[in-house]
Amino acid sequence: MHPLTPLITYSNDHFSPGSPPTHLSPEIDPKTGIPRPPHPSELSPYYPLSPGAVGQIPHPLGWLVPQQGQPMYSLPPGGFRHPYPALAMNASMSSLVSSRFSPHMVAPAHPGLPTSGIPHPAIVSPIVKQEPAPPSLSPAVSAKSPVTVKKEEEKKPHVKKPLNAFMLYMKEMRAKVVAECTLKESAAINQILGRKWHNLSREEQAKYYELARKERQLHSQLYPTWSARDNYGKKKKRKREKQLSQTQSQQQVQEAEGALASKSKKPCVQYLPPEKPCDSPASSHGSMLDSPATPSAALASPAAPAATHSEQAQPLSLTTKPETRAQLALHSATFLSAKAAATSSGQPPLLSRPLPLGSVPTALLTSPPSFPATLHAHQALPVLQAQPLSLVTKSAH
DNA sequence: GCACCTTTGAAGGCG
DNA sequence: CGCCTTCAAAGGTGC
């Protein structure tokens, strides 16, 4: 079943202008055993582009109930939450938003100005202490009395960051993974999802990158003045220290790395049991979610599909750069890892995917210009070996 | 009740 | 330009 399915409450036909990648035909996921729906086009279910081309647009609320009744943007106990508030949409935007905005979310006075009482998915009630509002969102506020201003500032919605490709993927797949596993801890689920992500086929990842790109695009249109910086410090986390300590633990891991050969010794085991039935990503025996199990199969779906009609606005740089993260050192110690990250905004990192034997160069060369390509040789490693990596990554993060 | 954990990616800041 | 930090989701867990 296609991962995006849960997010799509309407007919897949809308998103299948072209023929789906051959390797992505609807069927039972070998790994999960979950039936896979017809593969939609890489067009975002959230943003059904080219309405005219794809036919009638499904109910706009479709995005609200992406998976098992769970809204794309969860509704906090406090109230409705939507990534993006009502906004004035132009023709082009409407197509982007049509599937994500409820019908009642009609055009507000100004884009980026959540003037209506209808919250935006990206806007969260000040559950989190709001600092003096960023200058961006509420011009109307400035015109009010200091007291009112202060009051409203406190209420000022928290514009959240647009979800990146992986986050979109997680949102969609989490329910499946949880259903498959007895686990419910997000930490564990996320580890699984992380590996599943790496095992996703290029085409599938491309869809999420595209979705994320549209998310960002839409977000930027809605909140032109918004900056990720605006949310800094809103979480009040000790993460900082935590990460530092993790780094320390990482060092310990590195020190012990010499004995890496030994079974998993990583703490993450606690979250992600090595032999989880649902741990498909790790399966090196060809049960990957969507990636071909065999090199030949992998090659069977060269970058073409995703690239063919992907109108990716962002030209994808194939520039491959060495792993930039600190974990590289550790990675290199155990396996090769080449990761290319787009430098310009909107440029997804090179796709992370299983590294088909002898297909690396080809994959890179044939990668769609708009598609990220990351080589993860370790992908082929057994779960146990891969596990430590995720841990390392985290600490390095 | 809040922060942590865990994942990847985006974005901003800093040197 | 590269590196570092923070945040985005999410739900169990621990304090």
Angstrom distance, A245 CA to B10 C1': 24
Q: Is the CB of A23 under 7 A from strand C?
A: no
Residues 6 or more apart in contact with residue A200 via CB below 8 angstroms: A3, A169, A208, A289, A290, A291, A353
| Interatomic separation, CA of residue A18 and C1' of nucleotide C4, rounded (Å) | 42
- Closest CA relative to residue A198, chosen from A335, A312, A33: A335
Using the CA of A228, give the nucleotide whose C1' is nearest. Answer: B11
Confidence of residue A168 (pLDDT cuts 50, 70, 90): very high
C-alpha A130/C-alpha A151 separation (Å) is 11
* Domain extents in chain A: 238-396
A216, pLDDT greater than 80: yes
Determine the distance between A392 (CA) and C3 (C1') in angstroms: 17
Rounded Cα gap, residues A175 and A60, in angstroms: 22
Identify which has the larger pLDDT, A194 or A157: A194
Chain C nucleotides with an atom closer than 7 Å to a protein C-beta = 1-13
Identify, with chain letter, the residue nearest to nucleotide B5 (CA–C1'): A187
Integer distance in angstroms from CA A163 to C1' B11? 12
- Mean pLDDT, rounded, for A193-207: 92
Two structure tokens written together for A133 = 């509002």
Report the percentage of chain A scoring pLDDT > 70.
Answer: 20
pTM higher than the cut 0.95: no
User: Does residue A392 surpass a pLDDT of 50?
Assistant: no
Q: Which of residues 65-104 of A touch strand C (CB under 7 A)?
A: 70, 73-74
At A159, give phi and psi (nearest 5°).
-80, 115
| Three-state secondary structure readout of chain A | CCCCHHHCCCCHHHHCCCCCCHHHCCCECCCCCCECCCCCCCCCCCCCCCHHHHCCCCCHHHHHCCECCECCCCCCCCCCCECCCCCCCCHHHHHHHCCCCCCCCCCCCCCCCCCCCCCCECEECCCCCCCCCCCCCCHHHHCCCHHHHHHHHHHCCEECCCCCHHHHHHHHHHHHHHHHCCCCCHHHHHHHHHHHHHHCCHHHHHHHHHHHHHHHHHHHHHCCCCCHHHHCCCCCCCHHHHHHHHHHHHHHHHHHHCCCCCCCCCHHHHCCCCCCCCCCCCCCCCCCCCCCCCHHHHHHCCCHHHHHHCCCCCCCCCCCCECCCCHHHHHHHHCCEEECCCCCCCCCCCCEEECCCCCHHHHHHHCCCCCCCEEEHHHHCCHHHHHHHHHHHHHHC
Work out the pLDDT band at A179, boundaries 50, 70, 90: confident
Rounded to whole angstroms, the distance from the CA of residue A41 to the C1' of nucleotide B2 is 41
Q: How far: A266 CA to B3 C1' (Å)?
A: 22
- So what's the pLDDT on residue A148? 54
**Distance measured from the CA of protein residue A8 to the C1' of nucleotide C2, in angstroms:** 39
Nucleotides of chain B within 7 Å of a protein C-beta? Answer: 2-13
How many Å apart are CA A188 and CA A268, to the nearest integer?
8
Which chain A residues in 262-301 sit with Cβ < 7 A of strand C?
Answer: none
Read off the pLDDT band of A156 (50, 70, 90).
low
Mean pLDDT of A172-179: 90
What pLDDT, on the 0 to 100 scale, is given for residue A197? Answer: 94
Predicted pLDDT at A232: 84
Cα gap A214→A93, rounded to integer Å: 10
> Across all residues in chain A, what is the average pLDDT?
49
> pLDDT of A229-277, one tens digit each?
888 887 766 544 444 433 333 333 344 333 333 333 333 344 555 444 4
Nearest nucleotide (C1') to the CA of residue A321? C2
* Distance from CA(A145) to C1'(C3), angstroms, rounded: 44
Q: What is the pLDDT of residues A94-150, one digit of tens each?
A: 444 433 433 333 334 344 444 444 455 566 654 433 333 333 333 333 344 545 545
A61's tokens = 């609320």
Residue A158: the pLDDT is: 80
Mean local confidence (pLDDT), A158-177: 92
pLDDT of residue A84: 52
Q: Is the CB of A321 under 7 A from strand C?
A: yes
pLDDT of residue A169: 95
Q: pLDDT at residue A284 above 90?
A: no
Q: Is the CB of A106 under 7 A from strand C?
A: no
pLDDT of residue A189: 92
Q: Which nucleotide is nearest to A322 (CA to C1')?
A: C2
Specify the higher pLDDT residue, A202 or A53: A202
